[in-house]
Structure 1
Amino acid sequence: MQKLIIKKKNKSSQRPLKNLATLILAAGQASRFGSAKQVAILNNEPMLSHSVSIARKNTPSNVHVVVGAYKNLVTEHLPQDVNIIENKYWQQGLGCSLATGIKLICDYYQREETRKQGSWHKKLLPRKVKSVATIDGVLILLADQVAITTQDIKRLITSWQAAPTRIHCAFYNSQCGVPAIFPASYFEQLQTLNQDVGAKRVLMNSESKRQISMPNAGIDIDTPEQLIQWQRAQNIETAHL
């Protein structure tokens, strides 16, 4: 079994301020799509690779992907520096996947110093991950928001860095949603989610959130027809695995 590789930290170095991890939700069955849309080919790569690429550019070595319905298939298409979290109860919906991801990310960072003494880390498939004592926030991304750009996420992160104790989320179609960054103070609340509402309930109940206009976040892929329409609009060659 491959071991988690942890870089040793210089004793004199300090932890970076406002350290951010990314959690990508890709555990669903995609019932409307009829198959694993996470790996439907778009622009010569699996659809999920779009979100993974953006995450790796903005939070290098701190990227986590929740898998479920198509665990093996999705895992095959992920780079080695991405950490994988399995949600065995993916049928319970997006909220369950989010709660599972946050819990295991917290477990990892909180127990890093004693990781070899316990079995908690076996819940994560063995990948290289960044050695960080704690994190200040988690960026939530979806697997099917194909129009999101690196610049969209950079604007969201910049906003969060200026006020890291607040939720910062995308605003599109007259509502707030993901992508969103949740500070550590919300982790406990996020771990209680268990339905298909995902983070929206937490976003709606937060009075101190900052909303970032992001029209691209309103474009997602739920059906093969939508994928074809997006391909035609962008003049991208599309196929399905």
Structure 2
Amino acid sequence: MKLAVVILAAGSASRFGGVKQLARLAGQPMLVHCLHAYARLGQMQSLVVLGANADKIEPVLPDWTDMVVNPNWRQGMGSSLSSAVGWLHSEVTHLLVGLGDQPDIQAEQLNALIAQACLHPNKRIAAAYGDGPGVPAIFPQQDFGLLAKLEGDRGAKPLLLAEPHRLVTLELQEASYDIDTQDELKQWQQARGTRP
């Protein structure tokens, strides 16, 4: 299996009231904090999709990632994911999709998803939390064409729900928490005893 990673971080975060990707979280920009889990997976193609405020965010990206700027970021996550698929190396067989605002995701959970992808190489592997499957999720190469056609703000969720027989889920409550507002950021910091 040849895995690549795509992290979606292109939105304007209108509910946050600022450049959310750069908000201080555990002493570093939120996006960088969230990327740490993916960095521990080892060497692989890693794309971060930016859109709004890309010029401000690019300088903080770690050197092991490549930036993709989605000019149509206003259309939502589906558009950002589809824009990234065109940049995948030809030898990539599986794509791990994550978000830049899920601060509780650790490499341990990502490796558990990867282990399931190794066991079920032709299936979609997704975190299960809240009301169903979601990201982080792994898609096999046979889905890349469908991912390239995504649009709108629902991202890959419709694809995860479309064929239940091709979906393997893994309970992953850490994925249930994402930060969309200043209050949620403060709650995260207070719950973990961290400072901005």
* Alignment match, 1:227: 185
- Equivalent runs, 1:56-95 vs 2, <5 Å: 56-95=39-78
In 1, Cα distance between equivalents of 2:178 and 2:6: 17
Q: Distance in 1 between matches of 2:26 and 2:41?
A: 21
Checking the alignment, whether the CA contact within 8 Å between 1:61 and 1:82 is kept in structure 2 is: no
Report the 3-state secondary structure (helix = DSSP H, G, I; strand = E; otherwise coil) of the residue aligned with 1:141. Answer: strand
Instruction: Identify unmatched segments of 5+ residues in structure 1.
Output: 1-17, 111-133
Is contact 2:32-2:62 (8 Å) kept? Answer: no
Matches of residues 1-241 of structure 1 in structure 2 within 5 Å?
A: 18-105=1-88, 109-110=89-90, 134-207=91-164, 208-238=166-196
Higher Rg: 1
Percentage identity across paired residues of the two chains = 35
Question: What is the CA-CA distance between 1:50 and the residue it aligns to?
Answer: 2.3
Asked if the contact 1:176/1:203 (under 8 Å) is kept, the reply is yes
Which AA in structure 1 matches 2:101? D
**Distance (whole Å) between structure 2 residues aligned to residue 77 and residue 99 of structure 1:** 24
Question: Quick one: distance in 1 between partners of 2:183 and 2:18?
Answer: 13
Q: CA shift at 1:61, angstroms?
A: 4.0
CA contact (8 A) 1:23 1:66 kept: yes
Moved over 6 A (4+): none
* RMSD of aligned residue pairs (Cα, Å): 1.0
5+ residue gaps, structure 2: none
Distance 1:92 1:104 in 2: 19
Structure-2 separation of matches of 1:94 and 1:60: 25
Instruction: Please give the TM-score of this superposition, normalised by the length of structure 2.
Output: 0.96
Q: Structure 2: how far apart are the matches of 1:141 and 1:216?
A: 12
**1 CA distance for matches of 2:131 and 2:73?**
29
What is the CA–CA distance in structure 1 between the aligned matches of 2:136 and 2:43, rounded to whole Å? 17
Give, in whole Å, the separation in 1 of the partners of 2:42 and 2:80.
20
| Structure 1 position 209, deviation (Å) | 0.7
TM-score by length of 1: 0.79
How far apart are 1:81 and its partner, in Å? 2.0
C-alpha contact 2:96 2:136 (8 A) present in aligned 1: yes
